Structure 1
């Protein structure tokens, strides 16, 4: 009887810690950062983690504003940013060549003047070849997005870049100089907090916009690839009553926007809403009047992870694809950013000292829905190879494949298409790293990880 009790206890414990939102007890078990917040997080192809915040040391090792962690949360001492940043970093992006773009409110990297955007080498040292002679943006950069060709979209509060007028949104060449083929002219008349690239090359910008190039646009606007306003998007409506914080695309082109606004187009919506592809409010999406979010991501299964608050409680919560609350996943804590690992676990960061009752300072890893798991018979239906892949990813199946979609690990859709059995997908333009491919087989969806080398 005693053995049976021990066995059942062990099984129940495994079930408990496998639940969605349960804290990974094997991650970040040291003292962590000495500051109060981690604002930005990025995952490298080798599963190392770059974090940025207001700390000056991490696990009692000097690191001013930025550090790289090993996959277990310990400090990677091969990455040394020296004196670090003067100011704060709000965005981190890993390039294909493993260099690291940082953006935010800082004015110096070590003793070198670098206003609001810079690039670091793989070892953490400053890449002096990035915008070497320019003054950079005139004010902070709040959001960045890298195009498949390596060019960089930035948005924020700046009104010029390298002394050339740009209305709070600009595109940079791969060396950090201004791409003058993208001209925002007057641009946005207020702060932009988010920039997102569509697969067709158009650009979504959001914040507290009232006008773009003197044309009325509320909260969200869409730009053509040259920076001109897309007149067919978001023509009507009053938008949000407060600025948005984040935008993310669904596979069907609809846009999830999040923030701490309470209404959109005068409707009581709460801070997580969905827009149709023309920019109008999607009224079929559940109105969560008590929800607010710093950020949100769309998962390959269509569900939405949002980091912010629900009924005034700080938490990470998950919504079903129709916007209703998924009660199987709630994680308490003041979380601001999150990323999905290749194994389906979720890295979260923000301003917290404990998560779900477990002492974890500012960064933690929690269990998420196992996006990669399928029944064994389903595994045999489709094979992808080679994996890792350099240029051409091949699909082989003994049942018809109708469609596929490619995702980054932060839930952003990269591309989609139709395919047939024994097909090939060109992934040569992807940056190095881990990705998810979702395919439809006989009406059912299967998601699998692959690595681009």
Structure 2
């Protein structure tokens, strides 16, 4: 259970930094974006950040939203940086108070949680939604409130149906009593059907991390001793309706300042847990553990995080190759020196190839937010003076191994997105379609996992178009963002199928055929089959009578010896429709 002392410690140096990504892979499909020295500081990224970083969000245009702790309720708690790290003078959010969590929405909107009191001069307490330009969304006002010095929304979970779950230290939402956990509709109104009660013996409870599992159940981490009157220590699982899962009870113990601060579900259902704790289910585990899906401890995973003072793991960036970048307040992992950040191999041992360490000039460094971008690079935020001996105040971009991905339409009814290497592991993937070159996108649906990636089936895709895949990625704690990639495609259409052919004695020709709707066809003719297609004589375009049904009528040309005809789709449409060839007798006669 957390105590007020730890909360003061949090407010002093920023306990939690949230890093959410909305970025695009623009280098094309089937590419590998290499990082020759994993953990090295990116020399080109040099932001000037004087206050502590609370939250940073990379947007689709590669701008970065950064939430800062400036002290008190003055402005400049949320700024936007250009890709090179310079401030964007056109972004003016004016958040008065600390921001603890950020969620990037699919439409570019931004949902904030924290301890703020107003945005743009309008009262907004602890939770708000912004438009992409930073302006307040006036239609979203959950009205979260609570008593005490440490109240606020610490973590926010976006659900697939557009609703949100808020966690933190608070008493009411929308005037309705809620004990540190609430579900709200997309408009900010409270959901009356969802009301789990989080409590703590002899102190106050908090919710610090929320994760929705692939089966829809919800993992809740924080500092508490019970939910709905049933004993649960710092980690619990809820059914989608908010009722407690009676079969999941790991028992994460951490003493006076203990709690769970980060949770990640692996693709195989295993559960990674980070925080301030010393044992899980009665077995020693220092600040990091892995659980089986039923909540039992994975005995083969024991990173052994250590340090001086209040040691903890606050954030986790999971790669598709199962390696894990962690951040927190520590000095060593498995007995090997690492300041505030490290990368683990899938078995929990330290990855020596990723040797990044933060440093500070006065107090010990803290990395409280880690998120892996679409190209594999790692964004870190917190309180530090630099990384690997290079000055970087509180925000840095690190190189990484290669991130691989390939988005493809593999059939008219199927899309696949294969992702590997240092790509960020996704909690979910959504696919979209555009038929106008990316101006307007329509949702196709949510993908399902396949070996090495995601797919969506049972589609009826048009012959040509563009597809977009978006992966929702998190830091396992307080942030949720998107990485995306785009691909144009052109399906192989079936060849035109003739339904009627009439050749008159005067040489005039009429063809009727079916083909995919909306295509453009030209009829070519020759008497010498061996001639290159470029030397065949164009007879003219076919006309689409109704969608999918075409007609060609050639002018009367007595005496021409044409015996071979081709119906060809026009290449300017980027179609790959095979040509259909028609062979007529030398002495034509009328017929069908």
TM-score range normalised by the length of the shorter chain:
0.7 to 0.9
Cα pair 1:33 1:55 within 8 Å, conserved: no
TM-score (norm 2): 0.60
Of residues 408, 413, 424, the one that matches 1:384 is: 408
* Residues 202-233 of structure 1: per-residue CA shift (max 9 Å, x gap): 11101122111000111110011111101121
Deviation of 1:240 after TM superposition, in Å, equals: 3.9
Cα pair 1:107 1:113 within 8 Å, conserved: yes
Query: CA RMSD of the aligned region, Å?
Result: 3.3
**1:136 — aligned with what?**
144
Of residues 14, 28, 40, the one that matches 1:22 is: 40
Deviation of 1:426 after TM superposition, in Å, equals: 8.0
Is structure 2 residue 213 aligned with structure 1 residue 198? yes
**1:450 — aligned with what?**
485
| Cα distance in structure 2, aligned partners of 1:417 and 1:213 | 34
Structure 1 consecutive aligned stretches of length 4 or more whose deviation exceeds 6 Å: 404-409
**2:374 — aligned with what?**
342
Is structure 2 residue 108 aligned with structure 1 residue 108? no
Residue 338 to residue 426, structure 1, CA distance change in 2 (3 Å):
farther
Deviation of 1:364 after TM superposition, in Å, equals: 0.9
**1:155 — aligned with what?**
167
| Cα distance in structure 2, aligned partners of 1:433 and 1:140 | 34
Cα pair 1:258 1:272 within 8 Å, conserved: yes
Cα pair 2:182 2:194 within 8 Å, conserved: yes
Aligned partner of residue 314 in structure 1, secondary structure: coil
The 5 A counterparts of 1:266-277 are 266-277=282-293
Deviation of 1:342 after TM superposition, in Å, equals: 1.6
**1:394 — aligned with what?**
415
| Cα distance in structure 1, aligned partners of 2:319 and 2:451 | 22
The runs of 5 or more residues in structure 2 that have no matched partner are 1-34, 359-365, 429-446, 460-467, 474-482, 489-592
| Cα distance in structure 1, aligned partners of 2:289 and 2:112 | 29
Aligned partner of residue 25 in structure 1, secondary structure: coil
Cα pair 1:42 1:339 within 8 Å, conserved: no
**1:296 — aligned with what?**
316
| Cα distance in structure 1, aligned partners of 2:472 and 2:280 | 33
Residue 322 to residue 172, structure 1, CA distance change in 2 (3 Å):
same
Is structure 2 residue 343 aligned with structure 1 residue 307? no
**1:11 — aligned with what?**
none
The 5 A counterparts of 1:412-451 are 412-414=426-428, 416-418=448-450, 424-425=456-457, 434-435=470-471, 450-451=485-486
Structure with bigger gyration radius:
2
Residue 203 to residue 360, structure 1, CA distance change in 2 (3 Å):
same
| Cα distance in structure 1, aligned partners of 2:451 and 2:353 | 34
Of residues 67, 70, 78, the one that matches 2:82 is: 70
Cα pair 2:36 2:401 within 8 Å, conserved: no
Aligned partner of residue 328 in structure 1, secondary structure: coil
| Cα distance in structure 1, aligned partners of 2:120 and 2:455 | 50
* Residues 3-44 of structure 1: per-residue CA shift (max 9 Å, x gap): xxxxxxxxxxxxxx831100000012x5x1231x11112222
TM-score (norm 1): 0.78
**1:6 — aligned with what?**
none
Q: How many residues align?
A: 390
Is structure 2 residue 367 aligned with structure 1 residue 357? no
Deviation of 1:129 after TM superposition, in Å, equals: 0.9
The 5 A counterparts of 1:202-221 are 202-221=217-236
Deviation of 1:423 after TM superposition, in Å, equals: 6.9
Deviation of 1:336 after TM superposition, in Å, equals: 1.2
> Does 1 or 2 have the higher relative contact order (CA < 8 Å, sep 6+)?
2
